[in-house]
């Protein structure tokens, strides 16, 4: 691999790691209702686990309520079971056509638990970015060893990889800080 390939691969993978963390943080509950809380819940649909957002419309008619309207009414009970067995901690209320999830206000204790979970998710994202850095540095070292890259280019590539690492770790930290602020203030 040459320098451009190594840097492009590392950057693409780091972007994917940041998007993954962002998606996980959306699923963390704040005091307000957002479709992101239940988007990723998987429902047994014709024998295969399917994301809820693919089999139902998810909306927030009120600040403290999520409404789920399945495209196929026969899946209503399956959706309710999936919500109950998920770690969202919400009880589904069904009227036969839609499921309503009421979002209770968060206690101080629950807020602290969510912030702790948030920090774990952010750290997992930072570790993923560092692992990508390690892989990129390994490719750089291999290229130097195979004489496909000069020592100067090797050093320059490693510096660029480190800059990418700092940039994407910073993005993860910013996402985590914003979500923590949202959890503690709502």
pLDDT in tens, the chain (186 residues): 889 999 999 999 999 999 999 988 887 767 677 888 887 789 988 888 989 889 999 999 888 899 999 998 888 999 999 988 887 778 899 888 999 998 888 788 888 888 898 999 999 999 999 999 999 999 999 999 999 899 999 999 999 999 999 999 999 999 999 999 988 876
Note the pLDDT of residue 62. 86
Structure tokens of 121?
A: 């998710």
CATH number, domain containing residue 19: 1.10.132.20
CATH number, domain containing residue 40: 3.30.1360.40
- The answer to whether 179 and 29 have CB atoms below 8 angstroms apart is no
Backbone phi, then psi, for 150, in 5-degree steps? -80, 165
Q: Could you tell me if 53 and 10 lie in one domain? A: no
The CA distance from 41 to 87, in Å, is: 9
Whether the model clears a pTM of 0.85, i.e. scores above it, the answer is no
Last residue of a domain, one of 63, 84, 102: 102
Could you tell me which of 147, 51, 72, 67 has the C-alpha nearest to residue 101?
A: 67
Note the pLDDT of residue 91. 87
**Coil vs helix vs strand at 25:** helix
Q: Which domain holds residue 46?
A: 35-102
Note the pLDDT of residue 186. 64
Q: Could you tell me if 76 and 124 lie in one domain? A: no
Q: Could you tell me if 148 and 178 lie in one domain? A: yes
Number of domains in the chain: 2
Q: Could you tell me if 96 and 120 lie in one domain? A: no
């Amino acid at each position: 691999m040459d320098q451009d390939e190594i840097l492009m691969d590392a950057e693409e993978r780091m972007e994917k790691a940041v998007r993954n963390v962002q998606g996980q943080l959306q699923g963390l509950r704040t005091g307000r209702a957002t479709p992101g809380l239940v988007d990723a819940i998987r429902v047994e649909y014709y024998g295969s686990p399917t994301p809820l957002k693919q089999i139902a419309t998810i909306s927030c008619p009120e600040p403290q309520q999520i409404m789920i309207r399945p495209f196929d009414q026969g899946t209503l009970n399956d959706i309710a079971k999936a919500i109950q067995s998920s770690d969202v901690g919400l009880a589904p209320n069904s009227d036969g056509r839609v499921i309503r999830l009421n979002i209770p206000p968060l206690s101080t204790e629950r807020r602290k638990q969510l912030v702790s979970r948030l920090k774990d998710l952010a750290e997992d994202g930072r570790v993923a970015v560092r692992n990508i850095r390690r892989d990129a540095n390994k490719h750089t070292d291999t290229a130097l060893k195979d004489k496909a890259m000069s020592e100067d280019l090797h050093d320059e590539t490693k510096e660029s990889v480190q800059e990418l690492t700092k940039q994407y770790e910073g993005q993860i930290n910013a996402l985590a800080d914003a979500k923590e602020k949202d959890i503690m203030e709502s």
